[in-house]
Amino acid sequence: MDSFTSDGLRFDVTEYGASSTDGIPVLLLHGFPQTAASWEPVARRLADAGHRVLVPDQRGYSPGARPAGRRAYRVEELVDDVVALLDAAGGGPAHVVGHDWGAVVGWALAALHPERVRTLTAVSVPHPAAFVKAMVTSRQVALSWYMYAFQLPGVAERVLGRPGGLATAARRAGQSPQRARRDEAALAAKGGLRPAVTGAVNWYRAMPFWEHRGLQLTVSAPTLLVWSDGDVAISRAAVDGTPRWVTGPYRLEVLSGVSHWIPDEVPDRLADLVLEHVAERG
pLDDT in tens, 194-223: 999 999 999 999 999 999 988 999 999 999
pLDDT in tens, 156-203: 999 999 999 999 999 999 999 999 999 999 999 999 999 999 999 999
Q: Which amino acid is at 69?
A: G
Q: Are 47 and 16 spatial neighbours (Cβ–Cβ below 8 Å)?
A: yes
The number of beta carbons lying within 10 Å of the beta carbon of residue 77 is: 20
User: How far from 13 is each of 107, 148, 174, CA to CA, in Å?
Assistant: 20, 30, 27
Sheet strands side by side (includes 26-29): 3-6, 9-16, 53-56, 26-29, 94-99, 117-123, 223-230, 250-259
User: How far from 96 is each of 63, 148, 183, 194, CA to CA, in Å?
Assistant: 23, 28, 22, 29
Reduced to 3 states (helix: H, G, I; strand: E, B; else coil), residue 94 is: strand
Per-residue pLDDT of the chain (282 residues; tens, 9 = 90+): 899 999 999 999 999 997 666 689 999 999 999 999 999 999 999 999 999 999 999 999 999 999 999 999 999 999 999 999 999 999 999 999 999 999 999 999 999 999 999 999 999 999 999 999 999 889 999 999 888 888 888 889 999 999 999 999 999 999 999 999 999 999 999 999 999 999 999 999 999 999 998 899 999 999 999 999 999 999 999 999 999 999 999 999 999 999 999 999 999 999 999 999 999 987
User: How far from 204 is each of 106, 125, 156, 231, 252, CA to CA, in Å?
Assistant: 16, 14, 11, 19, 26
The rounded distance, in Å, linking the Cα atoms of 130 and 240 is 8
